[in-house]
Structure 1
Amino acid sequence: MAVASPADRRRSPLGTLHLPLALVLTLAGTMTGQPAQAEPASRSAPAQPLARPAQAAPKPTVKQLKKELAALQKDSDRLITDYYNGRIAHEKAEKAEKAAKARLAAAQEVFDRESSELRAMAVAQYTGAVPSEQELISSVDPGALLGRLALTRHLADRQHARLTGFARVRDEHAAAEAEAAARTAELADQIEDLAGSKEKAQKQIDRIKDKIDQLYQAPGVRRSDGTWVPQLPEGPDHITPRMRLVKALVQERFDVPFGIGCYRTIQDGGEHPLGRACDFMLSRGGAMPTAAEVARGNEIAAWAIKNSQRLGIMYIIYRQRIWHARRGTWRMMSDRGGATANHYDHPHISVY
C-alpha cells in the first residue's frame, strides 16, 4: 500500500483542506509539548518530502484464495437457486400459455360456426324468406298472410336468440384471445428473466473457475525473464509435470469431445516428442469443426493466454495462427495443408 506524504495527509476527498493558523499552532504545541510560534512571513516553508511510489499489491495466498472461493461458492448457490426457481416458473408459464391457446382455438371454432349461421340467416332474409312491407299490403289471401306473419315472427325470434348467443360467443372469444396474449407475454417475460438468471449464475461459475485456476502454479524453476527451466517427461503418458497440470485444468474446465493427444514420436521436431505439448481435438477424422466447436477452441486458447505466465505456457497454435508468450500477439502461419495440419480442428498448447 502506498505511503502518503504529509502533504497528502492534509488533503480531504474534496480537495486541499485549509486549517486556521491558530488551530495548526495548537496542534503543533500539543504534539511537541512546547508552544508553537508562527514563523515570520518572509521565511519560506520547508520543502515537503515526495510521496513514495505505490507498491504492488501482494499476491493472494492459498488461504486467501480459498476464503474468496468459499464466498463465491455461497453466492453461486444462491444464483443457481434463483435459476432453478426461474425454470419452474417458466414451465408453469408454458403450461398456462398452452391451455390458453387451446381455449382460444375452441372459442374460435364456436365463433366461426356462429358467424356462419348469422350470415346464412342474413342471406335468407335478403333473398325473400321474410315478406316485405309491400308484400304484406298487397296480399289478398288472409290465410297465406297469417302464415307469412307467423313465419316472420318465428324468424325474428330465432334471429334474436341467435344474436344473443352470438354476443356471448363473441365475448368468450375475445376473453380467450386476451388471455392467450397475456400468457404469451408472461412466457416471454419468464424467458427473459430465466436467461438473465442463467447468465448471472454462469458468470459466477466462471469466477469460481478463475479462482480455482489461481490455486495452481506451474511446477519447476522460473527464470528472471519469465521463462521456465525445461522439465523431463515422466509417467506412462510421457509428458512433463508442467504439461500435465495444463492438460488436467483444460479437462476440468472445458469439454474436449474427441480426446487429447500429447506425447508422440514425430520426425519434424516440435514439443510433442519432448512431452511439452498437447492437442485438444474438437472434431474427428480431420473434419472441420462446427461453429460451437470453433467457439470452444477459442475459449481454450483465450484461457491458455490468460494463464500463460502462471502455468508456464510457451505458445498456442489454433486456426493457422500462433500466439507466443514472448510476443503476446497472434500471427498467421503458412499453409501446411488440411484442417488438422493447420490446427483448424484443435488448439495446440506447448509449455516451457
Structure 2
Amino acid sequence: METPTSTLRRGGRRAAVALVAIATAVPLAGAPVPSEASVPAAAAALAADPGDSGRFARLNKQIAQLDKAYGGDLAKLKDAQYAVQQALAKSRDLQSDLTEARGLVAQMAATQYMTGGQDPAISVVASDDPSELLGNVTLVSHLAQNKAAKVEQIQSLVSQQDQARKQAQQKIAELQKEIKDLLAQKTRIRNLVKKYKPESPSVGMGGVTPRMLKVKNTIDLEMGPFPTIGCVRTTGDPQDHGTGHACDFMVTTGGVMATGSAQSLGDRTAAYAISHASALGIKYIIWRQRIYDLRSPGWRAMENRGGVTANHYDHVHISVF
C-alpha cells in the first residue's frame, strides 16, 4: 500500500504539474465553494478580452482623423480617450492579480494532493526520510494558513474585474457618443475652421502663432495682470502648447488651488474668452476641470488627472484655431 511519501517519490511531482492547471478551476477541499448563481458571472469575468482593446484602437484612429479635419487638438475627445485608457488599465491590472491569486491556490491544491491531504508537519514525522519533505514545509504551512483568505480574494477579484470591464465598456460607449456628436456637427465645425484659417508656428515671438499672441495680449490687457502666463512647451502632454496654439493664464502659483479673488479672476477670464471667442478665434477653454469647446459649445466635466494644475484649478487654459 502506497503512503503519501511514496507517492511523492514515485510521481507526485509530475502529478503536481498537472494539478496546477486543473486546480485553477477547482477550489481546495474545505475551501468556500462558489454558489451556482455565481458561476456564470465568474466565467464572464474570466473570459478573453471581448474586443475592447480593438474597439479602442479603431476609435483612436478616428480621433486622429478628426483632429486633422476639425482644426487641431480635440481636447474633449482626448479627455474621453484618457478615461478609456485608465479603465482598460484597471481591468488589465485586476486580471493580472486574479491570475496570480488563482495560480497560488493551484499550487496549494497540488501540494495538498502530494501530501495526501495531511498536515505537512505530520507528513514529515511519518516519513522514512523527513529531509525529503522539509524543503516544502515552510511554503506549504504558509499557503495552508492563507488558503481560505486567498479563495475569498479570488471571489472578490472576479467581481472587481467584471465591474472594471463593464466600466471600460461604458467609457468606450461615451467616447463613441462624443465622436458621433462631433460628426453630426461636421458642416458647422468645418465652416468654423474655414473662418479661422490655420496659422503656422512663428519664431521671434516665443513660438506662439500670431492669433495666439493677439489673444494673450488682449486677455492680459483686459483681465490682467496675472501672476504669469505660460504658452509654448513641449514636455509632458503639450497638445496645442507644442505648436504655439495655447497659453495658460495662471491665477495662482506653486500648484495652489485658486480660491477667493484668484478664483474670481479665473472665472472672469474664462467668461471673457467664451464671450469673445468668435472675434478672437478661440477654439476651447479649460478651467476647474471643465472644458468649453466652441466646436461643441457648453461646459463639460473632465476626468480627474490627479492634481491641482493637471485639473486646471490654478490656471485658465485657452487654445486658438
TM-score past 0.5 threshold: no
Q: TM-score, normalised by structure 1?
A: 0.36
For the pair shown, which has the larger CA radius of gyration, 1 or 2? 1
Higher helix share: 2
TM-score scaled by structure 2?
A: 0.39
